[in-house]
Structure 1
Amino acid sequence: MKKKIAVIGCGFSGLSAAAYAAKEGNEVHVFEKHDQPGGRARQFTTKNGYVFDMGPSWYWMPDIIENFFADFGFHSSDFYELISLNPQFEMIFSDAKIAVPENYEELKKTVESIETGAALQLDRFMKSAKYKYQVGMQEFVNKPCYSWLEFASPKIATSALKLDLLTNFRKYVSKYFKNRKLRALMEFPVIFLGASPKNIPALYSLMNYGGYVLGTKYPTGGFYSLVLAMKKVAEKQGVQFHFNHSVEKIHIENDRAVSLLINGKLLEFDSIIASSDYHHTESLLDTKYKNYDDDYWKNKTFAPSSLIFYLGINERIPNLTHHTLFFENDLDEHIDCIYGEKKWPEKPLFYACCPSKTDAGTAPENCENLFLLMPVATGIHDDESVREHYLKEMLERIKKHTGIKNLYEKIEYKKSYCVSDFTADYNAYGGNAYGLANTLNQTAVLKPKIRNKKVQNLFYTGQLTVPGPGVPPAIISGKIAANEVNKLKI
């Protein structure tokens, strides 16, 4: 018997869950508080012609994204073109820079020029990373994670040691590379998994393979093109979208979710998938039906929040690539401000994305679209004066790197986004930007459960449950949740 299913939230996990649930013939309705799909990956256009992706900008693990389209008989190329970036990105240090080339053989030459023997070590590192990627992204991440017994397959069992779950990422990288710049290059991808490389399992070297070897892409029209493509796929399965619809309450009867209060109206459903922030979703339940109390969330390690600036620059910026990482300062000092002292960093690292270098449609002619992101601690105070202080520091470092003068004066559009905005717009716990950190004690079965333990037809999906933060994991999370709902009997 087909079900009437509600999906709360229209980010990547919600879009994925809706599409997979509807594919089985269910009637699926998606409710989104904003006026457009995408969640953190929304997009906005300014009156003077700038087009800004609000969130994700790294198109990594393209095969995982392609798998989503393939499950519905499509290809990503049916919706947008993927441009391979060359260089993939630049990493700026106080005394040098590393440009990561599109071609892996060229990357080997680059690392060898920095450290003798590093090319061979990179091959060894990536061979192991490829194995982790194949096992991790095909076997490990597709489990609902109710029990460790799900991982008792012969393939996972024989792969246990090779997955390096018990080795920390920093120690693992140091076995291969001695040069501090190469270590930073290898450690960078795990920063947004939500913890220091000292606390992230070496399993996540799979991200280095998913990025550096498979390549860094850019979808024409911006990351929002992926959002719109997934929405079209969902609509072709019959999914109905309802924007400007806020879910205010989940009603339970006889241990089943029976209805949602949405914009003051009560609507009945057979099952519910919540792609909204996990903690917020549980605030919509009576206390006795929550999976976790407030103490549980207080004791969790969250990935960072972010200070973001969307800037329209009325002049071209020389010597700046599509993706640039500014790592002139010490990584551990910045990380300690996020996870240790929980304060604003004195010597921050940051990331600059300039999509107008690749896509002329993101900025007016002879102008630049500049997106700046600095990872910060969750829960900190973020008034306008603090934001402005860091904007000027970041622009000063861009000016030093590019040689452009008076960059601040060339801003013709400016919008900032930080902790309080993540809380207001996404009900994000502590204003987090990326969900829970992928530390060892917050991995797989140890993450918040994808199913409510007391309400049999309520499921959760997204970056606060399995498999974790990031766009490809969010898409997988939606598929897992939908599969579990599809198994349910009414």
Structure 2
Amino acid sequence: MKKSVSIIGSGFSSLAASCYLAKDGFDVTIFEKNSTIGGRARQLKKEGFTFDIGPTWYWMPDVFDRFFADFDTSPSDFYKLEKLNPAYSVYFGKEDYITIEDTLEKICIAFENEEPGSSIKLKKFIATAKSNYDIAIKDLVYNPGESPLELVTLKTATKLNQFFSNIKRDVRKSFKNKRLSQILEFPVLFLGAKPSNTPSFYSFMNYADFGIGTFHPKGGMYQVILAMEKLAKSLGVTIKTNASVEKILVHNGTASKILSNGKIFESDIILSGADYHHSETLLDEEYRQYSESYWEKKTFAPSSLLFYVGFDKKLINVNHHTLFFDVDFDVHAEAIYDNPKWPDEPLFYASFPSITDDNAAPTGKEAGIFLIPLAPGLEDTKELREHYFNIIIKRFERLTSQKVEKNIIFKESFCVNDFIKDYNSYKGNAYGMANTLLQTAFLRPKLKSKKVKNLFFTGQLTVPGPGVPPSLISGKLVAELINKQFSRKTTSLKASIL
């Protein structure tokens, strides 16, 4: 008889785990509290416009390829992928920006134009980043974070010093130009920590950026969710939406049931892909691994104030992805990590998917997504949201030399309170727990409960960390742990019978 698995949540990690477990012969049911699947990667449709509510960057395509290849498929079986050129642009002042194109050779030219001689340093820096990428993404991140010995290999032995330096120190040692330094420090923000708190080894993100490039799935990132849903259902996974889980029930030290919408569902294994902190609150206190003080001491990735804006005209002087670094990067970072507060002068990011994708907006119109990174746990009010929208839209107009405020058809916002309400996110964080030195690999919250049998976790707060590709990997890792445990039990049972 098949072993049953109940999965809480339907984000990238949960969907990935469901596919692997169903393939391995488990009877899998997903319980999603919202009306649509995808977790933080949901979609907003309004007046002919389509927005990705959550992730908008498609990096590390090899991780997606590897996931789908595990099921004898490929991304191209489900969605069309386009490499962006330019990948993105970075504004530093009025009509003053640097464009990052689609090959390292072109990026070297941009660096050389900014600082003569910098292209030589860049090639050396990216060569190290590629070496780190080959070790990390092809090897290390596919370990379950159970032991420090996972980090000890012949390859990592040559990289040990990089775990005790940081990205900011390495970048600024080689690049004296502040603008170039900020561009090189930007990718690690996806890992949820300041460059000064991110180990040098994570420069592999720079190879993902400059060496591999930035892609866009036609129809948006939600197409990846739909692809995974189709795959999961083809493997026999059942998905229940509007199915909030109120309790994980433990009997004789074993997770055996969940309470969803007032009804009890029995299961051999419980796997939560929901926020880890929230998942543990579904347990009686005696069964929780981590105290409130544990979570309080951890470094969390930022929250975000997001705006989804429909414009009645096409915009100029912007690319699909556009960053606005015209204010002090370090001061804003302090407002996120060191002295949590609303930033006086926020950096922000904007995405205009309709530049690339006709599906994102009606003809002649533009879809815009604006994001301000924030400290989690901040006060979130309608008045604050409006105040900050006015700040960034006026700066946007000045920097890009165009008037857009009167061309806004509508705007929707999403912030701390929404992350808590929609995703049960700890303090309204947007990206999970940061990958600092003391929150890497085996030092992150565990995939498998230490206190409750048959209870597992997956997602951005556990191994390997924040981001879409790591979430896919997290789903694979936890599925392997579950399969290993129950395959061993089956083998032991057969041996005892014989």
TM bracket, shorter-chain basis: over 0.9
Shift of the alpha carbon at 1:165? 1.1
Letter in 1 for 2:124: R
Letter in 2 for 1:339: Y
Where does residue 413 of structure 1 map in the other structure? 410
Q: 1:159 to 1:328 in 2, by over 3 A?
A: same
Shift of the alpha carbon at 1:103? 2.0
Where does residue 266 of structure 1 map in the other structure? 264
Where does residue 222 of structure 1 map in the other structure? 220
Q: Matches of 2:170 and 2:176 in 1, distance apart?
A: 11
Of the three residues 446, 450, 453, the one matched with 2:447 is 450
Where does residue 248 of structure 2 map in the other structure? 250
- After TM superposition, the structure 1 stretch with the greater mean CA deviation from structure 2, 468-477 or 449-458, is 449-458
Where does residue 202 of structure 1 map in the other structure? 200
1:241 maps onto 2:242 in alignment:
no
Cα contact 2:159–2:201 (8 A) shared by 1: no
Q: Matches of 1:193 and 1:108 in 2, distance apart?
A: 25
Where does residue 116 of structure 1 map in the other structure? 116
Letter in 1 for 2:63: I
Superposition pairs of residues 382-421 of structure 1, within 5 angstroms: 382-405=380-403, 407-421=404-418
Of the three residues 357, 360, 368, the one matched with 1:359 is 357
Superposition pairs of residues 327-342 of structure 1, within 5 angstroms: 327-342=325-340
Q: Matches of 2:113 and 2:237 in 1, distance apart?
A: 53
Shift of the alpha carbon at 1:401? 2.6
Q: Matches of 2:36 and 2:417 in 1, distance apart?
A: 20
Superposition pairs of residues 402-481 of structure 1, within 5 angstroms: 402-405=400-403, 407-481=404-478
Q: Matches of 2:149 and 2:210 in 1, distance apart?
A: 33
Shift of the alpha carbon at 1:467? 0.4
Where does residue 8 of structure 1 map in the other structure? 8
Where does residue 56 of structure 2 map in the other structure? 57
Letter in 2 for 1:476: I
Q: Considering only aligned residues, what root-mean-square deviation do their CA atoms show, in Å?
A: 1.2
Q: Matches of 1:150 and 1:291 in 2, distance apart?
A: 22
Shift of the alpha carbon at 1:343? 0.5
Deviation per CA, 1:234-262, whole angstroms, max 9, x where unpaired? 11211111111011111111211111111
Where does residue 173 of structure 2 map in the other structure? 175
Shift of the alpha carbon at 1:333? 0.2
Shift of the alpha carbon at 1:154? 3.3
1:125 maps onto 2:122 in alignment:
no
- After TM superposition, the structure 1 stretch with the greater mean CA deviation from structure 2, 390-399 or 418-427, is 390-399
Q: Matches of 1:179 and 1:452 in 2, distance apart?
A: 47
Of the three residues 262, 276, 279, the one matched with 2:277 is 279
Where does residue 374 of structure 2 map in the other structure? 376
Where does residue 68 of structure 1 map in the other structure? 67
Shift of the alpha carbon at 1:355? 0.3
Q: Matches of 1:94 and 1:399 in 2, distance apart?
A: 12
Where does residue 77 of structure 2 map in the other structure? 78
Shift of the alpha carbon at 1:400? 1.5
Q: Matches of 1:397 and 1:365 in 2, distance apart?
A: 26
| 3-state SS of 1:57 partner | coil
Q: Matches of 1:185 and 1:152 in 2, distance apart?
A: 31
- After TM superposition, the structure 1 stretch with the greater mean CA deviation from structure 2, 301-310 or 447-456, is 447-456
Letter in 2 for 1:441: L
Where does residue 31 of structure 1 map in the other structure? 31
Q: Matches of 1:149 and 1:398 in 2, distance apart?
A: 48
Q: Matches of 1:159 and 1:468 in 2, distance apart?
A: 23
TM-score w.r.t. structure 1 length?
Answer: 0.97
Letter in 1 for 2:188: V
Q: Matches of 1:315 and 1:434 in 2, distance apart?
A: 32
Cα contact 1:324–1:352 (8 A) shared by 2: yes
Q: Matches of 2:436 and 2:485 in 1, distance apart?
A: 31
Shift of the alpha carbon at 1:65? 1.0
Q: How many matched pairs? A: 486
Cα contact 1:392–1:408 (8 A) shared by 2: no
- After TM superposition, the structure 1 stretch with the greater mean CA deviation from structure 2, 172-181 or 414-423, is 172-181
Letter in 2 for 1:381: E
Cα contact 1:457–1:488 (8 A) shared by 2: no
Where does residue 138 of structure 1 map in the other structure? 138
Cα contact 2:93–2:399 (8 A) shared by 1: no
Of the three residues 343, 346, 349, the one matched with 1:345 is 343
Q: Matches of 1:97 and 1:195 in 2, distance apart?
A: 25
Q: Extract structure 1 runs of 4+ deviating beyond 4 A.
A: none
Cα contact 1:30–1:241 (8 A) shared by 2: yes
Shift of the alpha carbon at 1:175? 2.5
Shift of the alpha carbon at 1:404? 1.9
Q: Matches of 1:450 and 1:116 in 2, distance apart?
A: 48
Shift of the alpha carbon at 1:229? 0.6
Deviation per CA, 1:337-386, whole angstroms, max 9, x where unpaired? 01111111011100000000001111111110000000001111111111
Q: Matches of 1:402 and 1:333 in 2, distance apart?
A: 23
Q: Matches of 1:130 and 1:153 in 2, distance apart?
A: 18
Deviation per CA, 1:313-333, whole angstroms, max 9, x where unpaired? 111111111000000001110
Q: Matches of 1:193 and 1:330 in 2, distance apart?
A: 20
Deviation per CA, 1:68-126, whole angstroms, max 9, x where unpaired? 01110111111111111111000000263110011221111110111121111111011
1:17 maps onto 2:17 in alignment:
yes
Cα contact 1:317–1:402 (8 A) shared by 2: no
Q: Matches of 2:12 and 2:158 in 1, distance apart?
A: 30
| 3-state SS of 1:445 partner | helix
Shift of the alpha carbon at 1:152? 3.3
Q: Matches of 1:251 and 1:330 in 2, distance apart?
A: 49
Superposition pairs of residues 184-195 of structure 1, within 5 angstroms: 184-195=182-193
Letter in 1 for 2:248: I
TM-score w.r.t. structure 2 length?
Answer: 0.96
Q: Matches of 2:158 and 2:19 in 1, distance apart?
A: 32
Letter in 2 for 1:141: V
Cα contact 1:436–1:468 (8 A) shared by 2: yes
The percent of aligned pairs where both chains have the same amino acid is 48
Q: Matches of 1:480 and 1:159 in 2, distance apart?
A: 26
| 3-state SS of 1:241 partner | strand
